[in-house]
Amino acid sequence: MAGRPRVGVLALQGDVREHAALLAQLGADVQLVRRPDELTGVDGLVIPGGESSVIDKLSRTFGMQEPIRHAISHGLPVLGTCAGLILLADAVLDSIEGQETFGGLDVVVRRNAFGRQVESFETELHVPAFGPPSVSATFIRGPVVETVGADATALAALPDGRVVAVEQGNLLGLSFHPEITGETRFHERFLRRVEARVQRQ
Q: Which residues are catalytic?
A: 82, 177, 179
**Distant-in-sequence contacts of 18-21, Cβ < 8 A, 24+ apart:** 18/48, 18/177, 18/179, 18/180, 19/46, 19/48, 19/81, 19/179, 19/187, 21/179
| C-alpha torsion 140→144→150→155, nearest 10 | 50
HSE-up of 35 (CA within 13 Å, CB side)? Answer: 2
